[in-house]
Amino acid sequence: MIALTVALAVLVGVTLGLLGGGGSILTVPLLAYVAGMDAKEAIATSLLVVGVTSAVGAISHARAGRVQWRTGLLFGLAGMVGAYGGGLLSRFIPGTVLLLAFAVMMIATAVAMLRGRKNTNAADGGDRAMPIGKILLDGVVVGLVTGLVGAGGGFLVVPALALLGGLPMPIAVGTSLIVIAMKSFAGLGGYLSNVQIDWRLAAMVTGAAVVGSLIGGRLTSLVDPETLRKSFGWFVLIMSSVILAQEIHPGVGIATAAITLIAGVTAYACNRSEHCPLQRFGAHSRTSVATG
The residue among 2 and 220 whose pLDDT is bigger is 2
Q: If pLDDT is split at 50, 70 and 90, which confidence band does 123 have?
A: very low
pTM metric for this prediction: 0.70
pLDDT digits (tens, 9 = 90+) for 210-228: 998 888 777 766 777 667 6
Higher pLDDT, 172 or 199: 199
**What does pLDDT average to over the chain?**
77
Mean pLDDT calculated for residue range 72-91: 85
* pLDDT bucket at 120, cuts 50 / 70 / 90: very low
> How far lies 1's CA from each of 8, 38, 198, 232, 246, in Å?
10, 15, 14, 24, 19
Band of pLDDT at residue 207, cut at 50, 70 and 90: very high
Contact, 82 vs 185, CB < 8 A? no
